[in-house]
Amino acid sequence: MPEHLEAQRLETQRLETELLVIGWGKGGKTLARSLGSAGRRVVLVERDDAMVGGTCINVACVPTKALVHQAESRRPDDHPDAFLARAVETRDSLVGRLREANRQLLATVDAVTLVRGEARFTGPRTVRVHGGDEQLEIVAEHVVVNTGTEPRLPGIPGETGPRVHDSTGLQHLDRVPERLAIVGGGPIALEFAGMFARFGSAVTVIVRGASILPHEDDDVRASVEEALTDAGVRILADADTERIDDDGAVATVVTSAGEVAADAVLLATGRAPVTAGLDLPSAGIATDERGFVTVDELLRTSADGVWAVGDVNGGQQLTPISLDDHRVVLSQLTGRGGRSRDDRVAVPTTTFTTPPLARVGITEREARARGLDVRVAAKPVATIAAMPRPKAVGETHGIIKLVVDAQSDLVLGAALHTIDAQEVVNLVALAMRAGVTATELRDGIWTHPSSTEALNEVLAELR
């Protein structure tokens, strides 16, 4: 069987283990290493060599951010196609190193057995793994489903055409499309929009609703739109995509707001759980109407002794959430208990536009809708005198906005559209979890020049 059971040689077609992990994502691989290092018998099954280490390092977080970084460094006189080829080569080299490092993290743990093949449940806590012409039955005391998600097609005519790509395929174009149409207005769509605009494409983002980022406050959304527009991105709003026509020379995205001609089309319309081949009903594992595995606050499925971690359980599709999922399950498997996903407070997120947009907590609009008594501070990055770092690096787009409870002085939420936002948001999130007041953040002593010191000036303007 491929991977040839690196930790031990298979001598029978049946294997018993304490823990079976299906899928090499963040939560599952960390569980496997933690328990395996403690001497517990673990089997991890992965069906695809290209996904060793999980979605994040292979097709999502790491490689896309590497491409964003490469795109930001392109100079006007760099040839688009040659520059893209070098960027993709850099991306692939990085992914290869991370993939091998992830393999070694588990292959060097004696109690962990690695199996490559397609897993399918045949009964409670029992799977059959197919690898080529070989089959292996695995019976486990505990099972963790960790199969993640994949790009979801919207179900429109023409979506499988030769010029249509998902977020994985678009990372390996052999040339920069002169015109790129992106269907979708979420984080993936916006990251690729800014990236390819800097690679040299004329990018049009096609949004079904009235605007991108519909959950953000108007001033924050306007800030992101301005940065994208200045990068050359066109946003076509109130445009339902009806079909994609391809005449052999060009792809035309037909929408309710008009037609968009493109040399390449990206469908960034969400992600779907990878569960189709698992035969979950055979194990008594329930799913919701979208196909995500249903779990409770302890990540237990409807089947006894089976948990689901990471994106496949329908929670926030974030690597740090998957990592925390591992902690929730680990606390049960080690008998310590006491950890639940209900414990999560102030979880930060970042969309890696240029500059990035980081968010934690609630927006001003949400606070007002709840009838909360709040004070708000918001200031465009270009006008923050106490924050010279954006000017020093030549990226002054953005806005910093915080929402504070008027009575307790505690931060309820923040939107940070600025360079270094992915770092500063972690400080704000920690302050929210630890009960640090807005006044304490305002009066903090921060390094200079840094993006954190914007808090001194912005929070001084709470109204």
Name the residues annotated as catalytic. Answer: 448
Question: Look-up: residue for tokens 């429109």?
Answer: 156
How far apart are alpha carbons 191 and 349 in whole angstroms? Answer: 14
Backbone angles phi, psi at 90, to 5 degrees: -65, -45
Q: Count CB neighbours of 229 within 10 A.
A: 12
Secondary structure (DSSP) of 301-316: -SSTTEEE-GGGGTS-
The dihedral sign for the CA sequence 352, 357, 359, 363: negative
How far apart are alpha carbons 389 and 395 in whole angstroms? Answer: 9
Q: Count CB neighbours of 11 within 10 A.
A: 7
H helices of 231-363, where?
Answer: 319-333
Secondary structure (DSSP) of 393-448: HT----EEEEEEETTT-BEEEEEEESTTHHHHHHHHHHHHHHT-BHHHHHT----S
Strands (E), 47-124: 112-116, 118-123
How far apart are alpha carbons 71 and 224 in whole angstroms? Answer: 18
Strands (E), 159-278: 164-165, 179-183, 202-206, 233-236, 241-246, 251-255, 258-262, 264-267, 271-273
CB 408 within 8 A of CB 390: no
How far apart are alpha carbons 310 and 317 in whole angstroms? Answer: 7
The dihedral sign for the CA sequence 165, 166, 170, 172: negative
Name the 3-class secondary structure at 226: helix
What proportions of the chain, in percent to the nearest 5, are helix, strand and coil?
A: 35, 25, 40
Region label for 39, one of left (φ > 0), alpha (ψ between -120 and 50) or beta (otherwise)? left
Looking from the CA of 166 toward its CB, the CA atoms found within 13 Å total 14
